Amino acid sequence: MIRFSLKCSQNHSFDSWFQSSDAYEKLAKAGMLTCAECGDRAVEKSLMAPKISTQSPAEDQALSPPMTEAERNLAKIKQEIEANSDYVGMNFAHEARAMHIGESPARSIYGEAKAEEAKALIEEGIPVAPLPFMPKRHTN
């Protein structure tokens, strides 16, 4: 898909998306383009600046760094938890219960649990707390 800035003979400017540059040319030659504002069929491409990224693709996709003090503190907490705890994924409720009853050695864990599972753990006297962030999922 490609977006072109267009202009009609009445000087109305608008943007439109096309499957390709060739698709635009075919529609223009066939007189199938009309102004979005007045319906004029004398439509042509107008001057437009290309969108150029000044960052590498990896930088483009990276999240921006936390801006506020609260966001920086939250990022620090997340980093500490991930560095000093075992990620147990969707097995969180099972692992927490196993540690509580002594079937598994006690250690710091974090993971994911459905609301019903977390509620059941609390009702059983197993201390759990929700994290203020989504855990980084570990994959094979």
Do 39 and 83 share a structural domain?
Answer: no
Q: Does 27 score more than 80 pLDDT?
A: yes
Q: Does residue 54 lie within any of the structural domains?
A: no
Do 77 and 40 share a structural domain?
Answer: no
Q: Does residue 53 lie within any of the structural domains?
A: no
In the predicted model, what is the mean pLDDT of the chain?
84
Q: Does residue 33 lie within any of the structural domains?
A: yes
Q: Does residue 18 lie within any of the structural domains?
A: yes
Do 108 and 70 share a structural domain?
Answer: yes
Q: Does residue 80 lie within any of the structural domains?
A: yes
Give the count of domains, the chain: 2
What is the average per-residue pLDDT within 70-87? Answer: 88
Q: Does residue 52 lie within any of the structural domains?
A: no
Q: Does residue 117 lie within any of the structural domains?
A: yes
Distance CA 33, CA 23 (A): 11
Its pTM stands at 0.49
Distance CA 110, CA 73 (A): 18
- Kindly state the percentage of the chain with pLDDT values over 70: 82
Of the pLDDT bands very low, low, confident and very high (cuts 50, 70, 90), residue 3 is confident
Q: By residue range, what is the domain housing residue 118?
A: 66-123
Q: What is the dihedral of CA 102, 106, 108, 113, to 10 degrees?
A: -10
- Cα separation values, 83 from 1, 77, 93, 127, 136, Å: 43, 10, 20, 21, 12
pLDDT of residue 61: 57
Do 74 and 118 share a structural domain?
Answer: yes
Q: Does residue 34 lie within any of the structural domains?
A: yes
